Every structure is written in structure tokens, then in C-alpha cells.
Amino acid sequence: MQKYLFSYHGGVPETEEEQTKVMAAWGEWMGAHAVAFSDAGAPCGAAMTVGADGDTEGGGPNPVTGYGIIQAVNMAAACNVARGCPVVTLGGGTVEVSETYEVDMG
């Protein structure tokens, strides 16, 4: 099994009613895929983009609003899980799916 990073972009509810609906959907989605998640992740707040030309507030043109890490047999399987994410299905946002690699630093 390979690990995949889910970077959530957008999909942040604006009203308390939307937040309640989205949180219920997150609970269902995470519960359905609990075995796959090696790190359930968390939402992200304020962001800075650091580059050679300086720091920029706001996280760039498409800031990350949260993350999670799953294990899947391949990229297609990971993307299939991401398609059901409430960020996509309810929030109009996107999930960037990135394969991760183990690196021996020793």
C-alpha cells in the first residue's frame, strides 16, 4: 500500500447551517474510509507562501484549507476516495492527491 496526501482546496462552509451539514458529511465520509486514513489530518488556517523572492500572505492563489493522508493500492484508488470528499461534493472545492515516498535519511 502506498501513502497519498490529500490537500484540500476551498470548500469552507460560510454559514452555521452549511457547517453543520458539511461536518455530518465529513463524519460519514471519514467513517466509510477510516481504514484507509493513516492520518485523518486537520483544517488549515492562516497561511504564508515562502519563496526566494520573499513571503506572501494568504497561501498563494489556491491555498490549502486542510489535509489528510490515506493508504491506497494506487493513484486511481486514492482518487476514487477523494471524489467522495465533502470538499468536492458539497463545497465546490478540490482535492489534490499526491503520492508520497519514504526516504531513508540515514
* Single pTM value for the model: 0.91
Domain spans, the chain:
8-44+62-99
Q: What is the pLDDT of residues 48-97, one digit of tens each?
A: 888 899 988 888 888 999 999 999 999 999 999 999 999 999 989 999 99
Strand order in the sheet with 64-72: 37-43, 64-72, 2-9, 94-99
Report pLDDT for 28.
Answer: 97
**Ramachandran angles phi, psi of 6, nearest 5°:** -100, 120
